[in-house]
Structure 1
Amino acid sequence: MKRLLITRPLPAATLRAAKARFDVTARDADIGLTSREAAEAMANYDAILPTLGDQFTADAFAGEIRCGVLANFGVGYNHIDVAAAQAAGVLVSNTPDVVTDATADIGLTLILSACRRAGEGERLVRAGKWTGWAPTQMLGQHVTGKTVGIVGMGRIGQAVARRCHFGFGMPVLYFNRSAKAVDFPARQIPDLSDLMAQSDIVVVTVPGGGPNVQLIDAAAIAAMRPTSVLINIARGDVIDEDALIAALAAQKIAAAGLDVYANEPVVPDGLRGLDNVVLLPHLGTAALEVREAMGQMALDNLIAWDAGNALPQAV
């Protein structure tokens, strides 16, 4: 029976299924492996089920390698140096598709919350400072009919755009390396700054890491309108957080909604001190049935590897 390390607490159903097939060691820590710990795990286990926050950097693959596969729990895998893994003969998989709808739903949650000042309003009520309904109290922005710009028209980007178009009658623009055939009206904008300038609401859904680090930089944010709203459900490193804080504080843009941060779980004081940003604790896939489906997909890849077959979700 192969030795499997599960790096973080997972749903009970996932653990039961894993133990039925593998000799499982399950960490009970809610903090990821350091690069040194990842290297030790690579030397001691046949397979690893890692997730966001585990630092499988190039250094982790520099020593003795026993591990044959990293079956990542999550669609994003920028915490794994895939090139280093390939060079070391370690296979890598992820869990796409099963996360799409849940992440898109959080995107809509943030759109509505940021535009309608929901977080600010809840804080007002909880603080006992609400004085009652008034015609001009906490006026936000109407969402229906606004133009949405999608940065990254992959599975999640399309799911967000579909909800925006069919649910809220929003014209859809998108910035992507290639054109996409979709089942709703959408117009590709070849220049990122043009997309930012033409959109009332910008939703970022590109993968993190690599060339996408700080893709949404100061120049891109500066192209937005004073009434525009920026939403990030991708990875925190995709946005220049300092530039975003400056734009929000100076009201260069109206609001933002964030589910991810550059140095999770650290959220900059500059963001936490602003009322015009909605901050969620990385809730994109935080529904039990979704996390169970992610766990099963990761296990399906491990089982395929154990049986000598190709990984169904190889990256």
Structure 2
Amino acid sequence: MTPLVVATRELPEPSLSTLEPDFRLRVLGYTPSELELAAEVGEADALITLVSDPVTRRVLEAGAGLKIVANYAVGVDNIDRAAAAARGIVITHTPNVLTDATADLTMTLLLTLARRVIEGDRMVRTGGFAGWSPDLLLGTDLKGKVLGIVGPGRIGKAVVRRARAFGMTAIAYGRSPRDEKDPDDPPRVSFEDLLRRSDVVSLHLPLSEETRGLFNWETFQKMKPGSFLINTARGQLVEESALARALDSGRVAGAGLDVYENEPAITPALLDDDRVVLMPHAGSATVETRREMARMVVEDVRRVLTGEKPLRPVTPEVGTRGERAARGGGAL
């Protein structure tokens, strides 16, 4: 029988349509729960998922014929990798392609905070702009400020490259040694030193048991007063209630968030705070990036179902190369 590919959602074309007529294709078109996904994979040979799809042990056991789970993302924390490995199921992801898009959004969030763009836009639209004045909507310069990168991997280094153009200097916390030959690889400091010195703290870590809730009230108390927090990595790195408290206390001057602790739900206190800039998990959301991600996913599905090795496999024991690079090598 012709192999069946189940995709939880449509992807940018040309991608899924290129699988036909060589393979049967079923697109769910909705965000499935664990039980719903388990019910859909019974006959599947390949499963194409988003990072929001719960590919649990139950789902993998329900897919008796599954050969590959191709995740339309760099991170794979939505997949039970140990269960997949035990069943001989290949996991693939989409590394490298979204580095620049995510770094661009990181800088967008920072610039929006520093120059109070959201507040200014709202002021003009609601008739609050009565003319220029010396103290109107004062922001802060980036030149001369210190950027602290937590997880100096590909995306973190790409952010450093952009920040340097604005006159910022960078430091980083990560377990891998600094590459002295790479001008975008910042000097390493301790976590506490980074928090104390940084005017901007930017998160570029994968989610793991070690990093979950890393930015809690205790962490925020160690940050430089008046600093900014940017998170374009994983929402559960940050305890949102603690962030709201840190904003109220003035310890944190503003936050730019693209991901959320209980996504898509957002802590109400953050929704009502003008010092917080919010984006809908759009780090990779450019036409070019999303199309290339789709091409990668489909390519690896086709390769596995035709007996070839995938080009972007995930190693279950140590995580993806992308995850290791994101945290600067090794487990944080």
Fold match by TM threshold 0.5: yes
Q: Determine the structure 1 residue equivalent to 2:169.
A: 171
Contact 2:142 2:166 in 1 (8 A): yes
Matches within 5 A, 1:1-315: 1-19=2-20, 21-29=22-30, 32-63=31-62, 65-165=64-164, 167-181=165-179, 182-184=182-184, 186-189=186-189, 191-315=190-314
Counterpart secondary structure, 2:42: helix
Is the CA contact (8 Å cut-off) linking 1:161 and 1:172 kept in structure 2?
Answer: yes
| Letter in structure 1 aligned against 2:214 | L
Cα shift at 1:10: 1.3
Give the aligned residue type for 2:16: L
Distance of aligned partners of 1:139 and 1:133 in 2 relative to their CA distance in 1, 3 Å threshold: same
Deviation at 1:64, TM superposition (A): 5.1
Deviations 1:103-146 (A, max 9, x none): 01000001101111111221222222222221111111111221
Contact 1:110 1:231 in 2 (8 A): yes
Number of aligned residue pairs: 311
How far has the Cα of 1:160 moved from its partner? 0.8
Which amino acid in structure 2 is aligned with residue 170 of structure 1? M
- Which AA in structure 2 matches 1:6? A
Distance (Å, rounded) in 2 between the aligned partners of 1:287 and 1:36: 32
Q: TM-score, normalised by structure 2?
A: 0.90
Q: Distance in 2 between matches of 1:172 and 1:106?
A: 18
Is the CA contact (8 Å cut-off) linking 1:107 and 1:231 kept in structure 2? yes
Mean alpha-carbon deviation: is it higher for 37-46 or for 87-96? 37-46
Q: Distance in 2 between matches of 1:178 and 1:36?
A: 40
Structure-2 separation of matches of 1:131 and 1:295:
48
Aligned to 2:319: none
Structure 2 CA distance, aligned partners of 1:241 and 1:156? 23
In 1, Cα distance between the equivalents of 2:238 and 2:175? 18
Amino acid across the alignment from 2:26: T
**Alignment check: 8 A CA contact 1:171 1:185 kept:** no
Contact 2:118 2:277 in 1 (8 A): yes
Identity %: 36
In the alignment, what sits opposite 2:317?
none
Deviation at 1:185, TM superposition (A): 6.0
C-alpha distance in structure 1 between counterparts of 2:81 and 2:41, whole Å: 14
Native 8 Å contact 1:258 1:278 kept in 2: yes
What displacement does 1:161 show?
1.2
The answer on whether the counterparts of 1:107 and 1:233 sit within 8 Å (CA) in structure 2 is: yes
Structure 2: give runs of 5+ residues left out of the alignment: 315-332
1:208-245: CA deviations, max 9, x gaps? 23321112222221111222000000010011111101
Contact 1:153 1:180 (C-alpha < 8 Å) held by counterparts: no
**Aligned equivalents of 1:38, 1:258: Cα separation in 2:** 29
In structure 1, what is the Cα distance between the partners aligned to 2:56 and 2:215? 24
Contact 2:199 2:226 in 1 (8 A): yes
Structure 1 residue ranges (4+ consecutive) displaced by more than 4 angstroms after TM superposition: none
Output the CA distance in 1 between the equivalents of 2:185 and 2:29: 46
- Letter of the aligned partner of 2:167 in structure 1? G
Q: Could you say what secondary structure the match of 1:148 adopts?
A: strand
154-163 or 123-132, larger mean C-alpha shift = 123-132
Distance 1:4 1:286 in 2: 24
2:153 and 2:256 map into 1 onto residues whose CA distance is: 20
- Maintained 8 Å contact 2:60/2:66: no
Distance (Å, rounded) in 2 between the aligned partners of 1:220 and 1:21: 52
Do the aligned partners of 2:7 and 2:26 also contact (CA within 8 Å) in 1? Answer: yes
Gaps of 5+ in 1: none
* Aligned alpha-carbon RMSD (Å): 1.5
Contact 2:157 2:184 in 1 (8 A): no
Distance 2:18 2:143 in 1: 44
